[in-house]
Amino acid sequence: MKTVFVGLSGGVDSSVSAALLKEQGYNVVGVYMKNWSRDLPGFDCPWKDDYQDAKRVAVQLGIEFKMFDFENEYFNRVVQYMLDGFTAGITPNPDIMCNQEIKFKLFLDAAVQQGADYIATGHYAQIQRSNGPPELCMAKDTNKDQTYFLYRVTADALKRTLFPVGGYTKPQVRELALKYGLATAAKKESMGICFVGKVGIKEFLTQFLPPQQPGAIKNQYDMNIGTHDGAVFYTIGQRHGLNVGGGLPYYVTGKDMQKNEVYVTTDLNDKKLWSDQIKMTSMHWINDVPKNKDLVVRTRHRGPLQKVELLTRKSDDSWLLQLVEPTRALTAGQSAVLYQKNVCLGGGIIC
């Protein structure tokens, strides 16, 4: 009998994953990953509730339950990465780094050391296993597909990974949770930053970065139209939270961290908002470098898949994507993830 360590987050997706694996005859061990436990002003960290929900599900299923404490590593590898990125004026994605560094590295290694043949999570994704190396494929529920966040996972990690809910839709997963009578069946999905529940990014950054200096907000005519409370809090394409009133909505087109200025426009056709090329760094391919054929790219979670005309390697640390059609609000620090049909190939960080 194969042993699977399932990452039980206290949510419905991972709970159903554990139930499905047990039903399939695996020896299932539930693991709660303690990545974050700090309370922030006005917000209580939900980790204790999530831990208890995960433990209840393990008891219901009659499986062994463990807790892995990755809090120090998480801060150093994920949170600090995020803080450094915002300080540099880009918009990093902590969920992607969490998957790369914690779930499919630390968790995988710890599980294997303790006798696991596989790990499993509640991600909406699928793995195609044939004669060659495993391929990361989109989930059946394309609206919930999470391959965008998983593109930096290695082929070696995929060999030891299972995604039990990847072949189901979210409504089907809810139905399964009710069928199994799981304690998390009606639990709502967590929103906000991946590791601190309902806290918004601005509130979080305020707690960990030095006090930010106000500066000018300038429109497309280089006119001062308002004052921002810290350039680190703004991202390309942002519309809300600018506090510049009246008339047409404004969109962030860029910022200068040295001058401490944020640039906006009311013109949705402003050239600064649109790009037909994507410059990328820190490339990661799950398997081999793909051929320039039938490539599509996604530049944000749930963003549309866009056709790629050409993928070119410019140097060891620089790649260029030529798009068939221009795309709006490319954001440095976010990821461009490449696909061929439903197979996620890998991608890089937009720069």
Active site residues: 98, 194
Q: Token pair for residue 118?
A: 């596989």
Task: Report yes or no: 300 and 333 within 8 Å, Cβ to Cβ.
Answer: no
CA distances from 159 to 65, 117, 312 (A): 23, 10, 29
Cα dihedral 173/178/181/182 (nearest 10): 40
Q: Please state whether beta strands 215-218 and 126-128 pair in parallel, antiparallel, or not at all (unpaired).
A: unpaired
First to last CA, the chain: 47
For every residue of 12-73, which 3-state class applies, written as one string?
HHHHHHHHHHHHCCCEEEEEEEECCCCCECCECCCHHHHHHHHHHHHHHHCCEEEEEECHHH
Q: 198: which DSSP letter?
A: T
